[in-house]
Structure 1
Amino acid sequence: MAIHSPSLVELHAFLAVARVGSFRGAAEALHVTQAAVSRAVQRLEEQLGVDVFERSGAGVRLTPQGTALRRRTEKHVAALEAAALALRRPTERLRLRISVAPSFGTLWLLPRLPDFHAHHPEVALEFRQYHHEENFQREDVDLWIALKAQAHQRWPRQVAAEYLVGREIVAVCAPQRARGVASADQLLAQPLLYHSNYPDNWALWAEAAGSALPAQWRGTGFDLVLNLVEAARAGMGFAVVQRCMVEDDVAAGRLAMPVAACASTGRGYYLCRRRSLGAHPAVERFVDWLRLQCAGDRGA
C-alpha cells in the first residue's frame, strides 16, 4: 500500500507551530533549530499540495486546510508520543544526569530535593562534576544549572538557556551583628564580606540602598558563595550575596537582613540543555518541578 501521510517529524513541527503561533517558538519547544521546523513544514505542504499556514509580518496562522489537518491529527500524534514514552525501558526513561554550580547545589537545590523525590520517586538523579568553563558538549550530562558570570554573556548557539533565580543580591549577617544596624550607612561601616570574583556587588547594593560605598573600603573575599555565607553565619561580618541562597537561613533565624535593600546584578543561575536533546520524560518532570520552585522564590 502506498503511504500518503506525512512523517511524524513533519507533523510534530506543524502541530508545534500551530500551538504556539510562530516558527521560532515551535523550535524552542521542540529543542531544534528554526530552520529545521521551517523545512519540515515546507515538506509537509509540498507532500499534501496545500498551504497549512498563512505567513505574514505579524506571524503565522492556520489556513482552513491547516485547521482541518490539526483537528484530524493532533489527538493521534499525542497518543503515539504517550505510547512511545510508556514503552521505553525504565533505565532510559527515568535516569537524569545533572551538573550544578556547587554553591547553588548545596545552598539552594539540595534542601529542596526531598520534595522532588516525594513527587517523582521514579526518577533517579545522578550529579556530575561541574566545569566553570563549560562548553555543553559533554554526553554524560542531560541538564546543567550554570552561573551566568557576566550580565551580557551569550550562551552557545547549541544551548537552550532559561533563567531560574539569582539576579538579586541582599546584605545579611549573623543575628547578633544586626543589633543597632538600621540604615545602609550604618551597615557599610561594619566589616564587609564579598565574593572575590564580584567585589563590585557591594557598590551595586549600596546604590540600591540609597547610600555609597566608602572610597577606601576593605573587606574579606571568598571565592565560593558557600564559604561567603558560612562566614556570615559565623559572625565575621556582613555579606552581600544572592537572595535565593540565604532565604532559608533568614527564615530560620540563622541570618538576619537588617536593611531590606535589594539590587540586581543581571547575572544569575540558568537551566541549560542542548537543543538537540530529544524527548526525555525525566528531564521534563525535573524541569517542571524546578520552574515551580523558582517561581516561588521569585515571588517571595
Structure 2
Amino acid sequence: MKLRVPSLVELHAFLAVCRVGSFRQAAEDLCVTQAAVSRAVQRLEEHLGGCRLFDRSSQGVLLSERGRQFRQLIEPHVVALESATAKFMEPRAPGKLRLSVIPTLGTKWLLPRLPHFQARQPSLDIEMRQFRHDEDFIRDDVDVWIEVKRPRRRWPAHLQVTYLMGRDIIPVCAPQVLPRLKQPADLMREVLLHHTNFPDNWARWANMAGLPGEPKLGPGYDLSMNLIFAAKEGLGVAITQPCLIERELQNGELVVPFALPVSTGRGYFVCTDKNRPATAGQLAFIAWVQDEARATSGA
C-alpha cells in the first residue's frame, strides 16, 4: 500500500515555522540548519501536490490559507504522537530534576532560594535547561516549566498549569526620582519604562489610579532584568512585579512611589506534562516553590 502521510521530519519543520514565523528561528529550535528546514517544507509542499503553505514577504513568513487549514488538521495529532512517545519511554531518573524557568524570575527570585530546597533534597540533582520564548512544551528534557502567561496564548491541553505569583505590578524608581513624585499624576511627566511584551501595563495601572488619558511610553525592554536595571540607574520609572525586585527594594536601590498594586491577570505559572508520571523530586519541588510563592505574596 502506498503511504500518503508525509514524514515526521517534514511535519515538525512545518509546525516549527508555524509557531515562530521564521525559518531561521525554527532551525534553531530544531537544532538543524535553516537550509534543512527550507528543504523539509519544500518537500512537504511537493508531497501535497504543489500546495503553497507559506506566504513569504519582507515582513516575514505567514501561513497561507491552505497552510492554516493543514496546520489545524495535523498539529493535534503530531502533539499526541510526541506525548505518547514520551509516556512510553522509560521513566525519568528519580534523582534528577530538570527546570526551565523564565530568565528574570529564575535569576532574581528562584536561584537565591534554590539552596534552601537543595538542602532539603540533597540527593536530588537539579539542572537548569534552556528557556525558550516560543516554548511548545513537548520537550522530553524538561520536568517542570515556570512560565509567564502571555497575551492571546492558550496553554496546551496536555499541560497541568498552576498559578504561582506575579499577577500584580507596581511602579518603581530610583531614590533620586522619588522627590518629584508627590501624587500619581506626577508620573505622567516622567519617562515611563516598559516591557515590550506587555506594553499595556502602564495603561492598566494608570486606569486603576484614576489618571486620565493614555500614558506616553518611554524606552522599552524585552527582558525584565534590563528594565529593572534601567530604573535603578535613574533612566525613568518602571512598572514590574514586586517579586522581581525584592533585593533592590531591600537595598534601597529602588523605591515604590505609590503602593498601588494592579493585577494584569497574567503572572507566572508552574507547568508540567500531565501525561507523564510525576517523580518524587518533581512533586517535592512544586510543593516547595508554591510555599515560597505564598510567602512572597504575603510579604
Q: TM-score range by the shorter chain?
A: 0.5 to 0.7
Alignment partners' CA distance in 2, 1:277 and 1:212: 50
Which residue matches 1:110? 111
1:10-54, Cα deviation, whole Å (9 max, x unpaired): xxxxxxxxxxxxxxxxxxxxxxxxxxxxxxxxxxxxxxxxxxxxx
Q: Which residue number corresponds to residue 232 of structure 1?
A: 231
Counterparts of 1:212 and 1:123, CA distance in 2: 53
* 1:244-277 per-position Cα deviation (integer Å, ceiling 9, x unaligned): 2123321331210011111111111110000022
* 2:184 counterpart letter in structure 1: A
The CA distance in 2 between the partners of 1:98 and 1:212, in whole Å, is 43
Counterpart residue number, 1:207 = 207
Instruction: Give the 3-state SS of the residue equivalent to 1:157 in structure 2.
Output: coil
Aligned structure 1 segments of 4 or more residues deviating by more than 3 angstroms: 212-215
SS in structure 2 opposite 1:114? helix
Kindly indicate whether residue 212 of structure 2 is the aligned counterpart of residue 249 of structure 1.
no
Q: Is the 8 Å Cα contact of residues 194 and 217 (structure 2) preserved in structure 1?
A: no
Query: Deviation string for 1:25-84 (max 9, x for gaps)?
Result: xxxxxxxxxxxxxxxxxxxxxxxxxxxxxxxxxxxxxxxxxxxxxxxxxxxxxxxxxxxx
C-alpha displacement of 1:154:
2.5
Residue of structure 2 equivalent to 1:196: 196
RMSD between aligned residues: 1.8
Q: What SS class does the counterpart of residue 287 from structure 2 fall into?
A: helix
2:203–2:214 CA contact under 8 A, matched in 1: no
SS in 1 for 2:136: coil
Give me the whole-angstrom Cα distance separating, in 2, the residues matched to 1:180 and 1:159: 46
Secondary structure class of the residue paired with 2:243: helix
Structure 2 portions without partners, runs of 5+: 1-90
- Within a 5 Å distance, the mapping from 1:59-138 to structure 2 comes to 92-138=93-139
Which residue does the alignment assign to 1:290? 289
Question: What aligned pairs does 1:161-200 form with structure 2 within 5 A after superposition?
Answer: 161-200=161-200
Deviation at 1:220, TM superposition (A): 0.8
Q: Which runs of 5+ in 1 are unaligned?
A: 1-88
Helix, strand or coil for the counterpart of 1:170? strand
Matched, 1:281 2:290: no
Q: Which amino acid letter does the alignment assign opposite residue 108 of structure 2?
A: L
SS in 1 for 2:255: coil
Instruction: Work out which of the two has the higher radius of gyration on C-alpha atoms and give 1 or 2.
Output: 1
**Secondary structure of residue in 2 paired with 1:155:** coil
1:131 alignment partner, SS class: coil
Equivalent pair of 1:158/1:276 in contact (CA under 8 Å)? yes
The code of the aligned residue for 2:251 comes to A
Post-superposition CA distance 1:92-127 (Å, at most 9, x none): 222100111111111211121122122222221101
Q: Distance in 2 between matches of 1:158 and 1:293?
A: 26
Number of aligned residues? 209
Q: Quote how far apart the aligned CAs of 1:214 are.
A: 4.8
Structure 1 289/257 Cα, relative in aligned 2: closer, same or farther at 3 Å?
A: same
Relative to structure 1, the CA distance from residue 213 to residue 114 in structure 2 (aligned partners, 3 Å threshold; closer, same or farther) is farther
Q: Measure, in 1, the Cα distance between the counterparts of 2:178 and 2:145.
A: 36
Percent identical among aligned pairs is 42
